[in-house]
Amino acid sequence: MARSPLLALEEAQARLLALAAPLQIERVDVDSALGRFLAEPLLARRTQPAADLSAMDGYAVTRHDMAGPWRVIGESAAGHPFPHSVEPGQAVRISTGALIPEGAGAVVLQEDLSREDETVRLTGTPPDPPHRHIRRCGMDFCAGDAVLDAGTPVGPAQIALALSAGHRHIPVTRRPTLAIVDSGDELAVDPESCARHQIPASNGPMLDALVRSLPVDTRRLGPVPDRLDTLIAAFEAAADVDVIVTSGGASVGDHDLIRPALEAWGATLGFWRVGIKPGKPILVAERAVGGHRQLVVGLPGNPVSGFVTGYLFLLPLLRKLMGAAQPLPRTIATRAAAPMPATGSRREFVRAVWDGDSATPVNVQDSGALAALSASNALIDRPAHAPAILVGDPVRIFLLQNGGIA
């Protein structure tokens, strides 16, 4: 089998994302949109606030009568506005969030006043400018404003904003469907009954858990034995999903059958092998199913390699299918807490612990070391052919929490 040249990470990610057209648009209740991505810009249907509101507790007075004293003529509470107009010499008790009465143009804080019966007097400093404690109509947004862009991830703040903008339903792309196929004769389904020549089948559950940071509908198929017919049967059982992700069998050994099984099933190889460590033998394929394109991402079987490539490829692919404007994880700048050797010909993703100030590589960097991966919360991104670095040197890291997008 001829080997393709190693692709650079950015080129491989770009080629993968170019295959992923956003899925169909559907309208869902705002309450159920958490984790989805907006499919269209969201325009405000109302103005927020819809009228001038008090930002503090105090007394509403006219802006032309800031010295007092004032006669209290009523109250404006949140949801219960004062129904009349305010004249000079008059004051209305007002609560935070309450409607500013007609004629009033200032709110004097209650701690700057003293009250005796129905008379309030100034004992502190009046607001400067007079409207200082007033939330003006349209302060947040006005009807017709674009309050959220297409591709925005919907989180708690976006849910509140959409509702405040007058939307009960919002347009999002439908949830992707994903089949997870882990393969290998050495995999034992039951970790409590695992012979010496076996290992527990942990990659499938790991990948399932990895994608649960997104609203994805998953299906587990496997472990599948290292036989061409059983692999093809597993792919056929997943013929209705948007994405198939495989774990194991993507390299070039005698028992690495993912690529020939995909080709026998009718899939076309997009690319194979990326210049990263860990994770070189990743492959991407596609297959036409009816009127849509089904994508296959083949991840390495070593668990750390599978995790890193799932983070760098599978999660961005799913985000792109969901319409994310920025599907790739982002790096942040920090500094090294320990010296690191020069790198070789592949870009390296070093498992590390970031404490908010610096990143420390974990002691074991083997691609099968799950204890070291579990102890890590970051990947140090080291370019190929990079020189050795010292303590305090700048580095860039990917944060593993939330798939690196938050």
* pTM score of the predicted model: 0.89
- Give the tens place of pLDDT for each residue, 232-284: 999 999 999 999 999 986 665 555 789 999 999 999 999 999 999 999 999 99
CATH fold, domain 53-135, is Molybdopterin biosynthesis moeA protein; domain 3 (2.170.190)
9-24+175-321 and 331-404: identical CATH topology = no
Q: For residue 251, what pLDDT is reported?
A: 63
Which of 2.40.340.10, 3.30.56.10, 3.40.50.150, 3.30.2350.10 would CATH assign to domain 331-404? Answer: 2.40.340.10
- Give the tens place of pLDDT for each residue, 152-182: 999 999 999 999 999 999 999 999 999 999 9
- Give the tens place of pLDDT for each residue, 209-224: 999 989 999 999 989 9
Domain extent listing, the chain:
9-24+175-321, 25-43+150-173, 53-135, 331-404
Which of 3.40.50.10490, 3.40.980.10, 1.10.10.10, 1.10.3720.10 would CATH assign to domain 9-24+175-321? Answer: 3.40.980.10
Q: For residue 403, what pLDDT is reported?
A: 58
Q: For residue 191, what pLDDT is reported?
A: 87
What residue ranges of the chain have pLDDT lower than 70?
1-4, 249-255, 402-406
Q: For residue 66, what pLDDT is reported?
A: 87
3-state secondary structure the chain: CCCCCCECHHHHHHHHHHCCCCCCEEEEEHHHCCCCEECCCEECCCCECCCCEECCCEEEECCCCCCCCEEEEEEEECCECCCCCCCCCEEEEECCCCECCCCCCEEEEHHHEEEECCEEEECCCCCCCHHHHEECCCCCECCCCEEECCCCECCHHHHHHHHHCCCCEEEEECCCEEEEEEECCCEECCCCCCCCCCEECCHHHHHHHHHCCCCCEEEEEEEECCCHHHHHHHHHHCCCCCEEEEECCCCCCCCCCHHHHHHHHCCEEEEECECEECCCCCEEEEEEECCEEEEEEEECCCHHHHHHHHHHHHHHHHHHHCCCCCCCCCEEEEEECCCECCCCCCEEEEEEEECCCEEEECCCCCCCCHHHHHCCCEEEEECCCCCCECCCCEEEEEECHHHHCC
